[in-house]
Chain A
Amino acid sequence: MSMELDECLENLYKGKLLPEPVVRALCFKLKEMLIRESNVVHIQTPVTVVGDIHGQFHDLLDIFEIGGPVPDTNYLFLGDYVDRGLYSVETIVLLMVLKLRYPHRIHLLRGNHESRQITQSYGFYTECLNKYGENSRVWHYLTDFFDYLVLCCIIDDEIFCVHGGLSPNVQTIDQIKIIDRFREIPHDGAMADLVWSDPEESSTENGNHREEFYRESSQHFQVSPRGAGYTFGRCVVEKFLHTNSMSRIYRAHQLCNEGFQVYFNGLVTTVWSAPNYCYRCGNKASILELYSKDDYYFNVFEEAPENKLLNESAQANVTNNKMLIDYFDSSDRLSENDFADMDVFSDSYQAKSASSRRVEYFL
């Protein structure tokens, strides 16, 4: 409990896990700090902007090598620290301790994966169980802390930064400031859109001249094929920037082959910081080094060469043992078998339920 922050950092940089009570205390302290922050934080250059990490801890350490360590370099992280990779716990806890130790040197935005619902599906929940035993307390501490992460950041009063993108429910920065952000990310609404939306370059800008489609899609928000958030075109971006006297938008949220992607002649830029995503995408990653508001450099890098397994003893099997047992242990062979219902064409099924079904679907 009484572990000093520097001692925590020393362990975390080596890839060691912190004890559960320490994680709990860290979450508590950081919530105390973040509750005082506005939904939209204002910072100044120089700062280095970092996109999705997704538990690729070795690559995060690489980022501190390439971009410089905290507190020598200022960092703004755009969210999606957890899920998919092997080391989401190590990643998020290191960033938390850095934030507590150097609150003005590092800023953490919330991504769509900093959510209870999403982490239950995409790995972080399982990882917490594996690394801290079969109870979900650490997952509870951390996902409760996620509710306090800020949503947006403005650099030098003119660069708008967010994990996903714009929302039809948000015209002004002030409207973002009044969102009640201390909650699970909702299914829709402004808060959901900020972490879920994507820019969509119209086909005209891809060299395919379909004027009407261009006008249509660039002026409006379209429903996102992701099932949450929206896609937005150039006109939407221009209007937002003009209304709020901003010059451009930095965001993350989408894999980029070259580590970054420029939209609408630079009005929107995606920064992606997870190289060779999921061990297979072969993509580069980047961090965006902003020296002043008009002087910047995309520092592009590839996957960390050495990717040795950390905390091996904590995870004899990477897969959750409980899951292996639940699915693959044959002892429940005699459990109630809903597949009995499944034989929908057996005579007994037909007889049993003929009266209650629409028989016209069957001969």
Chain B
Amino acid sequence: MKMLIDEKAHFSTPVKRIFDSQCTLDFQSSVAIVRLKYFIQKYAKIINRTLIPQGPSHIPIVNEIVDVLNYMSLLIDQTPPFEGPRRYGNLACRDWHAKVDEEMPSLWRKVLPSKFHHCIVELVHYLGNSFGSATRLDYGTGHELSFLAVVGAIDMLGLFTEEFQGGDFLLIMNAYYAVVRKLILTYTLEPAGSHGVWGLDDHFHLAYIFGSAQWANYKEAPLRPRDILNHHFIQEYAHLNLYCQTIGFIYQVKRGPFREHSSMLYDLATTVHTWTKLEMGLTKMYAVEVLNKFPVVQHFWFGTGFYPWVDNRTGKLLPIYDPADADRRNTPQIGGNYAAFMSSINSPARSSPPITSQRVPTTARTQVRSQARMPPARTRMGPPTSRMTNTTVHHDLTKK
């Protein structure tokens, strides 16, 4: 089985499509998300029982991609952080981004056979977005997702031949994460939209999925999940396993007790006993906490070739956000919350919060939606009565 892009497919500069929670909902049924999830599943499967290789690949394109990433790392060395006061992130990072942006088209032309050069317009976007935001000087899971999109895109071009194996994927990710960690440290990038102690990690999520996938269903795995609490083990395996590598980075940058600043990772280590369950849970969690979270996916843009804004079931274009909608939506309503306040005097424990902003759907949107996905009001502002009832997708990777 293979996923390949038609050579006649049309490619175009990706554009922003996700502007609010309703668009986030639309994204859940897009061709784009189906492809992204497909690649997560595919790579998690092929890296099972594989360690990060310590030498180059047999496949030229894998080595070329790793070379491109290493070259980006070299550009960091050539773009030292500015001395002197700054708000937080170092502005030299913007120069690094500028250099990368400038060179990227030619780097892609070198890596890709010429018949694929019309795809570069999309590849440049996703790779450019993989290293954090040049304006905000931050890095988070959205950027990590963008890199997965790059790898998936190359895959869709058919450039990863039959011999492409787990080790090859790990070589690429290993080189990518090395660049990102170096960027974060060199230019003190902010955690983008961190959930603080309440999230999995300030920057990464896929690294944990892939790291646990390496050792899932594998009796001979050298470590158990709880062993990650031991610095010594982490040191020993950081270069071989992505989970250990990412935890090692936390040990490097965070101060204070691990249990306190990385409570979720701590709880996972102490309550989830197998890598299989970890991988499955982290994948489910990714679908909800990353792919279904507006603050993250609003920064994922859509071209027409690799990750189109197209409904996966109907093949039709998904609704396009209409700013006129937004204007109506934000017109203050008569009474505002004062009425809500007055009613709260009588029933202070009401179960749903006052919702004052509702988008008035256009006719076209109504038609699409009345066929009953979730009622928009709830996903927009309403509190989840149970945190996971809105788990839209179950990724049961144990069934692979």
Contacts and interface: CB of A to CB of B under 8 A. Distances in A.
Contacts of A318: 197-198, 259-260, 263-264, 266-267
B210 to A, nearest CB: 16
A281 B354 CA distance: 36
A66 interface: no
Interface stretch (A39-47, A90-98, A115-123): A115-123
B298 interface: yes
Contacts of B356: 183-184, 186
Interface in B173-201: 188, 190-191, 193-199
Interface residues of B, number: 104
Interface in B341-358: 341, 344-345, 348-351, 353-357
Contacts of A107: none
Contacts, number: 268
Contact of B394 (A84, A182, A328, A336): A336
Interface of A is mostly: loop
A125 B338 CA distance: 24
A323 to B, nearest CB: 6
Contact of A362 (B3, B268, B354, B387): B3
Given A327-B281, A344-B3, A353-B313, A184 B381 contact: yes
Interface stretch (A1-9, A133-141, A156-164, A285-293): A133-141
A361 B253 contact: no
A14 interface: no
B397 interface: yes
A28 B340 CA distance: 13
A186 to B, nearest CB: 5
A226 interface: yes
A322 B387 contact: yes
A168 interface: no
* Size class of the contact patch on chain A: 35 or more
A344 B348 contact: no
Contacts of B338: 35, 182
B6 interface: yes
B341 A121 contact: no
Given A227-B298, A356-B315, A328 B133 contact: no
B396 A335 contact: yes
Interface string A295-319: 0000000010001010000000111
A144 B345 CA distance: 12
Interface string A4-36: 000000000000000000001001100100010
Given A84-B195, A121-B195, 13 more contacts: A24-B349, A86-B263, A117-B21, A117-B380, A123-B198, A126-B198, A187-B329, A187-B330, A276-B255, A278-B197, A318-B198, A337-B399, A356-B315
Interface of A: 24, 27-28, 31, 35, 54-55, 83-86, 116-117, 120-123, 125-127, 129, 136-137, 139-141, 143-144, 147-148, 180, 182-184, 186-189, 206, 225-227, 254-258, 261, 270, 276, 278-283, 303, 307, 309, 317-320, 322-324, 326-328, 330, 332-333, 335-339, 341-346, 353, 356-358, 360-363
